Amino acid sequence: MKIVIINSGSSSIKYQLIEMPSKEIICSGMIDRIGLETSNLSYVTKTDKIEKTIPIPNHKKGLKKIAALLMDEKVGVIKSTNEIYAVGHRVVHGGSDFSNTTIIDAEVKDRIKQLFELAPLHNPANFEGIVVAEEIFESAKQVAVFDTAFHQTLPVEAYKYAIPNFLLTENKIRVYGFHGTSHKYVSEQAKAYLEKSSKIITIHLGNGCSMAAIKDGKSIDTTLGFGPMNGLIMGTRSGDVDQSAIFYMVNSLGYTVNEVSTMLNKQSGMLGLTGFSDLRDIESNAAQGNKECQLALDMNAYRIRKYIGSYVAALGGLDAIIFTAGIGENSSFIRKLVCTDMEFFGIELDNGKNEIRSKEIREINLPQSKAKILVIPTNEEIEIANQVFELLS
């Protein structure tokens, strides 16, 4: 069974063509920096590797470029879209309606559209991926895997807000959590690596960022809530902001609610602090003496450390912290900032190991560190493929 996995992020598309149930990856690739003139495209098969920098203005253009490569006469891996049995889509917000993997029909698409305002950077991109995939892979089953599903195990004291009860019972306003496929995948990898059920903190750092406290394989708390905007400082999203500041911006400064929403989602975070949304640019400028970039990196790491402290309390201890996703896996600088002066939590970083790059699970802690510090490459696509295959089987 050939399954195409499409993982549309706020500024990226990751994709894989996977043969199931063998989990053989036939091809894989990524487009990042979507919307910029310097978008990066990669396409990798067993025999070919293509990497280029080209302008990709939006997700639709990116998805059509991916489809063209899959069927290219020279480097393609399929001759016809009829070879694809299913397309698995990562959908960020499932609201209260979707807690399980779901075959996509008109009703499901309508509900995903209704959730646009709760995940304005993601659900529209996810929806675009579904629409384009339906055009390209006409005979394939379209399946949605929701980011919020893994966090359905949160206890009520963690997911309920201290607001009038009817807003939960009638309007379903609560913590949903996101990046669930990533947190689930790396926590299961860690459990197998540690050979025990553990108290784990997973730290997913990309253009979007989140953390989860995972006890015995179940999510018990997470930084993202009703929508994917609070918690950690992200590429363009603010993370935690006092609600009073929002009221002040609307009531006293004259901003409309839509303007504030746009600002907090698309003009804040690292972009608002530095003028750059890509961490590679921020680290480079900080190294050249840019004080705004250095401060933004320090703020980013401080926020992560603060949540580590709260999650150690929620878990009642700590066996391991896990860094994953684009920044978590590749930025030794951020990992060092986060782990500095954390010995009182049993977190002791080995600076030499921290600089090693690998696609495998690796420990970067000192031997005497009570808590393991793991770098685990996430593979949301494999996790999505597993769930799609289980549903269709």
pLDDT at position 182 over 80: yes
Please indicate if the annotation marks 328 as binding a ligand: yes
How many whole angstroms separate alpha carbon 287 and alpha carbon 333?
Answer: 11
Q: Are residues 141 and 199 in the same domain?
A: no
Look at residue 322 and tell me if it is in a domain.
yes
Reading the block at residue 27, the tokens are 């091809």
Look at residue 237 and tell me if it is in a domain.
yes
User: The whole model's pTM is what?
Assistant: 0.85
Write out the catalytic residue numbers: 147
Tens digit of pLDDT for each residue in 55-110? 999 888 888 899 899 998 899 999 888 899 999 999 988 887 787 899 999 999 99
Look at residue 39 and tell me if it is in a domain.
yes
pLDDT at position 17 over 90: yes
CATH code assigned at 99:
3.30.420.40
Look at residue 318 and tell me if it is in a domain.
yes
Q: Are residues 261 and 354 in the same domain?
A: yes
Please indicate if the annotation marks 205 as binding a ligand: yes
**DSSP assigned state of 353:** H
Please indicate if the annotation marks 351 as binding a ligand: no
How many whole angstroms separate alpha carbon 37 and alpha carbon 54?
Answer: 6
pLDDT at position 21 over 90: yes
Q: Are residues 201 and 124 in the same domain?
A: no
Coil vs helix vs strand at 132? helix
Beta-carbon count within 10 A of 347 CB: 25
Please indicate if the annotation marks 128 as binding a ligand: no
Look at residue 164 and tell me if it is in a domain.
no
Reading the block at residue 98, the tokens are 């979707």
Q: Are residues 134 and 201 in the same domain?
A: no
Please indicate if the annotation marks 110 as binding a ligand: no
How many whole angstroms separate alpha carbon 281 and alpha carbon 257?
Answer: 31
Q: Are residues 130 and 224 in the same domain?
A: no
Look at residue 386 and tell me if it is in a domain.
no
Q: Are residues 142 and 203 in the same domain?
A: no
Tens digit of pLDDT for each residue in 363-375? 999 999 999 999 9
Please indicate if the annotation marks 105 as binding a ligand: no
Q: Are residues 218 and 338 in the same domain?
A: yes
Q: Are residues 213 and 301 in the same domain?
A: yes
Q: Are residues 217 and 100 in the same domain?
A: no
Q: Are residues 336 and 254 in the same domain?
A: yes
Look at residue 134 and tell me if it is in a domain.
yes
How many CA atoms does the CB half-sphere of 105 hold within 13 Å? 2
Reading the block at residue 249, the tokens are 């911006």
Domain span at 321? 195-375
Q: Are residues 11 and 128 in the same domain?
A: yes
Q: Count of domains in the chain?
A: 2
Tens digit of pLDDT for each residue in 128-171? 889 888 988 889 999 999 989 899 999 999 999 999 999 999 98
Q: Are residues 140 and 70 in the same domain?
A: yes
Look at residue 385 and tell me if it is in a domain.
no
